[in-house]
Amino acid sequence: MPSPKGYSARQIRLHWLVAVLIVLQFVLNEPMSAAWEMVENGQTPGFNWLVTSHVLGGVLVLIFALWRLVLRQTRGVPAPPETEPAALRRLGHLGHLALYALMIALPLSGLAAWFGGIAAAAEAHEAMKAALMALVALHVLAALWHQFWLKDGLMARMKRPLD
Ligand code: HEM
Ligand code: HEM
């Protein structure tokens, strides 16, 4: 895999677009949960554009995550800062891979629940959303730690493209 000096403009745009989409998925989940409860009670929920936007938003997260993984392989991503201890570099790498895994598995479980009527998939969806929330919180804390403690300019890598 190539190792460029920074992220490309496209990688940065996709990162922030997905971040906004994921926040919206969390903030606007209530109508989706209510619709699913109706399905579980044998009722048919009526059309609700917030339910549709949960499905579309989730599918976009899935597509963008796959696109980012392709870019990761073809264009590469910058190596972690030299100043970071080796153990933390590995942890950061694992954390990023786990974020990618959840950005793929979470929408897939949602699709299996909603279109396949699979109750176990809905349970997995709920468990994975909690895992994603925890990981994103850790991710943001790590970014703040780099910014204000290590002062290694890591945040700038997700702001300014280096093609
Ligand atoms: C306010 C929220 C966020 C901040 C401040 C932030 C910050 C950053 C920064 C600075 C990097 C670059 C790390 C590096 O250069 O090694 C990064 C990478 C990354 N972020 Fe975020 N992020 C946020 C939200 C999210 C969300 C919601 C997700 C998705 C669930 C996410 C997923 C990722 C992934 C997977 C990478 C690794 C990219 C790669 O190297 O392939 N981030 N983030
Ligand atoms: C990254 C993308 C996604 C995120 C972050 C996400 C997040 C969430 C959250 C926070 C809930 C509320 C769970 C609760 O009540 O505790 C939920 C419920 C639900 N979502 Fe998603 N979702 C995503 C993608 C999708 C997709 C693509 C579908 C496909 C139709 C979907 C279908 C559902 C269903 C059926 C429920 C209700 C079942 C349940 O509560 O587990 N989701 N989602």
Residue 54 domain flag: yes
**Is 143 within a domain?**
yes
Q: Which two tokens stand for residue 56?
A: 């579309």
The answer to whether the beta carbons of residues 110 and 61 sit under 8 Å apart is: no
103 CA from centroid of ligand 1 (Å): 12
Residues near ligand 2 (Cβ within 6 A): 22, 25-26, 29, 32-33, 36, 54-55, 58-59, 61, 103, 106-107, 110-111, 113-114, 122, 125-126, 129, 132
Measuring CA to CA, how many Å separate 29 from each of 22, 35, 43, 59, 104?
Answer: 11, 10, 19, 14, 18
pLDDT per residue over 50-107, tens digit each? Answer: 999 999 999 999 999 999 999 999 999 999 988 888 999 999 999 999 999 999 999 9
Between CA 29 and CA 31 the distance in angstroms is 6
pLDDT digits (tens, 9 = 90+) for 129-140: 999 999 999 999
101 part of a folded domain: yes
- If you measure from the C-alpha of residue 116 to the centroid of ligand 2, how many angstroms do you get, rounded to a whole number? 14
With a cut of 90, say whether residue 159 has pLDDT above it.
yes
- Domain extent, residue 78, equals 9-157
Beta strands in 9-148 (DSSP E): none
Q: Could you tell me if residue 162 is inside a domain?
A: no
Query: Of the bound ligands, which one is closest to the alpha carbon of residue 36?
Result: 2
Q: What is the pTM of this model?
A: 0.94
CB neighbourhood size of 58 (10 A): 23
Rounded to the nearest angstrom, the distance between the alpha carbon of 145 and the centre of ligand 2 is 30
